[in-house]
Amino acid sequence: YHLKLSYFLVCPYVFLILVGASIPTPGMVGGFDYFSKLGLTSLYQIVPSRAVGMTIVIHAIQVAVTCLIGYAILWKEGLSLFQLKKLGEEAKK
């Protein structure tokens, strides 16, 4: 997207998306996305359609990184997702 911002100017955006992510919504859907779009359009004057696209990309990157870190930790511990599920079910008993 070729958006050039200093790290200092990203702080208000990060604050907004953290607020959005912390607000309870039905199914936990929409808070992050709405506040991300709001931050991109109001703080950086990005066109709304581009802000939506950027929000989707940012959200996808966050999910991918979180999953990759989780899978790496499981691999390091010698566990699979199936084994983790089984351990969780045993802990409930």
pLDDT at 28: 74
For the question of whether the overall pTM of this predicted structure is more than 0.85, the answer is no
Can you give the residue ranges of every domain in the chain? 7-92
Distance CA 64, CA 44 (A): 25
* Residue 27 DSSP class: G
Q: What is the dihedral of CA 63, 69, 73, 74, to 10 degrees?
A: 40
Residue type at 86 in one-letter notation: K
Q: Give residue-wise pLDDT tens across range 60-93.
A: 999 999 999 999 999 999 999 999 999 999 998 8
For residue 27, pLDDT beyond 80: no
Distance CA 36, CA 88 (A): 34
Place 1 in a pLDDT band, splitting at 50, 70 and 90: confident
Q: Give residue-wise pLDDT tens across range 30-61.
A: 899 999 999 999 999 999 999 999 999 999 99
